[in-house]
Structure 1
């Protein structure tokens, strides 16, 4: 049981650091509670988030690379990206989406490109952290423990 306790403490410390760094906000804890009894649901939810986010980021890059940028199309790709980041409680990614929105609403192409780079950076950072979190969860469960909820 000692191994489980150590892994659970590592998990709590890791998620606490994500909150303190502003990567996550309290809504993520709510998502955790909803998936608490079905651990595979969180990994499936995150897999969908990764797949969708990468597709929308690629679509945004393509849309902004056009000679005549269609900002309505940019909005079509940006809104679901924002919604996904908001629904998971990925605070810094969500903030980057809000900043990006202000750029494309004002049709500021240079600002859009700069914000898109920032948005990609935030996405890849949160993806990496989520992958680490999932690996810790798997180790906890494999050791016979339950994954603690961190708010």
Structure 2
């Protein structure tokens, strides 16, 4: 595997003064990447963003499926984006006749998929959303949709960061350049 170093922005990581290469390319930053990944996950667990289901997903990843978690989570993101669009469209009907049964079905699907990847806070705000839809409370649904979108974006941004660190770590494990004197 050949890597074109000109395509890697030098500002993406700290660089070694002698080579100008990012530290992780030299293999020196691998431990730092591991620490950053662990800190990010610990923060997400501490905040209640993730739960033990995410750990169970991690345990399913192995050498035969090294991208298992990122693939499952990306499927979740793609499906969730569609569900959020559908929920928004249902709540923004012009004739003010909201189909709360359909909203409830979408929320249940969103809750289930969020539970399956360990997205605890997203799942929890979906519970409030479902309650508002069962009471046919349009204002409550709109407020709950806003909360779901907020928690979902927070989860998505942090998991994207986690997977970015994971990719850097994988590259650092494969590609090592000798330090020049």
Q: Taking structure 2 as the reference length, what is the TM-score of the superposition?
A: 0.76
Aligned with residue 105 of structure 1, among 117, 121, 134: 134
Q: Is the 8 A contact 2:103 2:133 kept in 1?
A: yes
Structure-1 residue corresponding to 2:166: 137
Question: Of the two structures, which has the highest relative contact order with CA contacts closer than 8 Å and spacing of 6 or more?
Answer: 1
**Distance in 2 of aligned mates of 1:48 and 1:58:** 16
**2:73 aligned with 1:40, yes or no?**
no
Shift of 1:106: 1.1
Deviation digits for residues 61-86 of structure 1 (CA, Å, limit 9, x no counterpart): 11111221111111221111111110
Q: Deviations over 1:17-69 (max 9, x none)?
A: 11011111111111111124322222211211111001000100111112211
Would the aligned equivalents of 2:49 and 2:120 in 1 still touch at CA under 8 Å?
yes
* Aligned counterpart in structure 2 of residue 64 of structure 1, from 91, 98, 105: 91
- Segments of 4+ moved more than 4 angstroms: none
1:2 positional shift: 4.4
Name the CA distance, whole Å, in 1 between partners of 2:142 and 2:113. 20
- Structure 2: give runs of 5+ residues left out of the alignment: 1-26, 175-181
Separation (CA, whole Å) in 1 of partners of 2:126 and 2:61: 25
Which range moves more in the overlay, 38-47 or 121-130? 38-47
Matched residues in 2 for 1:3 and 1:124: separation?
A: 29
| Structure 1 residue ranges without an equivalent (≥5) | 146-151
Give the greater-gyration-radius structure (CA): 2
Name whichever of 28-37 and 110-119 sits farther off: 28-37
Q: Distance in 2 between matches of 1:118 and 1:124?
A: 10
* Paired residues for 1:71-150 under 5 Å: 71-144=100-173
Listed as ranges, the matches of 1:10-49 within 5 Å are: 10-37=36-63, 38-49=65-76
In 2, Cα distance between the equivalents of 1:28 and 1:42?
9
| Greater share of helix | 1
The whole-number CA distance in structure 2 between the counterparts of 1:117 and 1:107 is 17
